[in-house]
Amino acid sequence: MPDKKEFIRFMIGAGVLRFGDFITKSGRNTPYFINTGNYSCGSELSALGGAYAEMITETTGSEYDAIFGPAYKGIPLAAAISVALAEKYGCDKRFFFNRKETKDHGEGGCLIGYSPSEGDRVIIAEDVITAGTALRESMALLKDYRLEIKDMFISVDRCEKGYNGKTAVEEAREEFGISVHSIVTIKDIIEFIENEDSPYKKYKAKMLEYMEKYCIEPDSRPGAF
């Protein structure tokens, strides 16, 4: 698996992991935010794709047919992973992504890239999981294609409670049969800013407060990955 400390440094250096005051897609005020949309050069995308490709290969081998990257941030992510898999592991996998609005001219449809067939084994590539909102949107979009989706890969598991009092990761498994695999968790990030000579130590108290309010520690949640 990718080195956790190195990956956190990488996210901070790319401006992807930031500390301050933010609002998540689920409407929660958070002292830190992960935005993979801030990766903006070839070397960053290459490193990101390589980290995901390593995690995917160690987790699933090559037992899947395609990679789905939800619009918009999942689009370059799925492409970067596909390139890294081919170059580093000789594993040539197709990828596809969705439009935010269905196209009503030309070829039409809402999916771009690979055209999945019924029964295809598909993995999802995303940046984070918070309350599971984005995953539910993806599953609603893909349900009519009758795909086999067993795994989702993310940069950061925020370890947050979803809509039913369980973690979003637990809900993903129970509702959709999907295992969520992350490179790092919120606990890893807190330990990083605590132990490093970091200007971000001042956010530790707010992060712990946020974790107390919204999260379940990865080591204590049932069936943790």
List average pLDDT for each run of 10 residues in the chain, which is 225 residues long. 94 96 86 92 97 97 96 93 98 93 61 94 92 87 94 92 80 93 94 83 93 74 37
pLDDT, position 224? 36
Region at 215 (left for phi over 0; alpha for psi -120 to 50; beta for the rest): beta
| Planar angle of CA 174, 179, 212, nearest 5 degrees | 75
Give dist(CA 134, CA 73) in Å, integer: 11
Q: What is the pLDDT of residue 99?
A: 85
- Would you say how long the chain is, in residues? 225
Closest CA to 210 of 161, 156, 163: 161
- Cβ contacts of residue 179 below 8 Å, gap of 6+? 150, 151, 152, 172, 173, 225
In this prediction the pTM is 0.89
List C-alpha distances in Å: 54 to 4, 51, 59, 73, 153.
Answer: 13, 5, 9, 20, 11
CATH of domain 4-214: 3.40.50.2020
* Contact present, 216 and 188 (Cβ < 8 Å): no
Q: What pLDDT sits at residue 222?
A: 37
pLDDT at 156: 93
- Tracing tokens 């890969």 back to the chain, one arrives at 153
Specify the pLDDT at position 223.
Answer: 36
Per-residue pLDDT at 225:
33
Rounded Cα distance between 173 and 176, Å, is 6
- What is residue 220's predicted lDDT score, i.e. its pLDDT? 43
Active-site residues: which are they? 103, 105
CB atoms under 10 Å from CB of 121, counted, come to 15
Beta-bridge mates of residue 190: none
Are the beta carbons of 105 and 132 closer than 8 angstroms? no
